[in-house]
A = this chain, B = another copy of it.
Amino acid sequence: MTVSLSRGAVIDTACRLFAERGYRGTSMKDIAETLGVRASSLYNHVTSKQDILFAIMDKAMDRALSAQEEALAGVGDVSEQLRAATESLVLDFLRNPAEVTVCNTEVRSLDPANRAAIVAKRDRYASRVRAIIAAGCRAGRFEAAHPDLAAFAVLEMGNGAKSWFRPSGRFTDTYVAREYGAFALRMAGCAASELRV
């Protein structure tokens, strides 16, 4: 009988522990024990602890970016774009809380080269949201006094949702995402008549 580790299992387990206790608060021994194995065995599947951290974050950013692309594909109206982008963001946060927590709290634990790669992807993600709000303001459909400021507030909403959401709670994740999509439109100052579509 072989329980037999895999790279994926190591990374998934590490992700959960990093989210709970932080990167520096989690030892290779902790990860190994959770998997029922000795610490040295992990090195058959990953090259270092830093390697694990980067793999978690890189995978998570790619997932978020492609979910965002998919959500926006074929959506022309700028209000619907903001709604779709926000719903995608919130859904991603609610469905992958551990990965997202690691992404949000452990950027500082990345080696400089790894950090540059992750920050670039994060910026790409954020700039799409900024662009939508800016376009809506230019078109006179939103009336945010400062589009960038509203964009940051929207991007932060995912964290707000993640911090209290529990899958076993009153709401489904899709329902919460829709609710936050509406928050985003309101915050951007979208004309009230559009809000109840």
Contacts and interface: CB of A to CB of B under 8 A. Distances in A.
Interface of A: 20-22, 24-25, 105, 108-109, 145-146, 148-150, 152-153, 155-157, 159-161, 163-164, 171, 176, 179-180, 183, 186-187, 189, 192
A105 B59 CA distance: 23
Q: How many identical subunits does the complex contain?
A: 2
Main SS at interface, chain A: helix
A21 B25 CA distance: 12
B22 A146 contact: no
A152 B171 CA distance: 14
A146 B179 contact: yes
Given A108-B20, A186-B189, A179 B25 contact: no
A159 B156 contact: yes
Contacts of A179: 145-146, 149
Contacts of A171: 146, 149
B25 A108 contact: yes
B22 A108 contact: yes
Residue among A155, A176, A187, A192 with most chain B CB within 10 A: A187
A17 B20 CA distance: 21
Nearest to A190: B186
Considering the complex of A and B, which 4 residue pairs feature the smallest CB-CB distances, nearest first? A156-B160, A24-B24, A186-B186, A153-B160
Nearest to A164: B152
Contacts of A183: 150, 153, 187
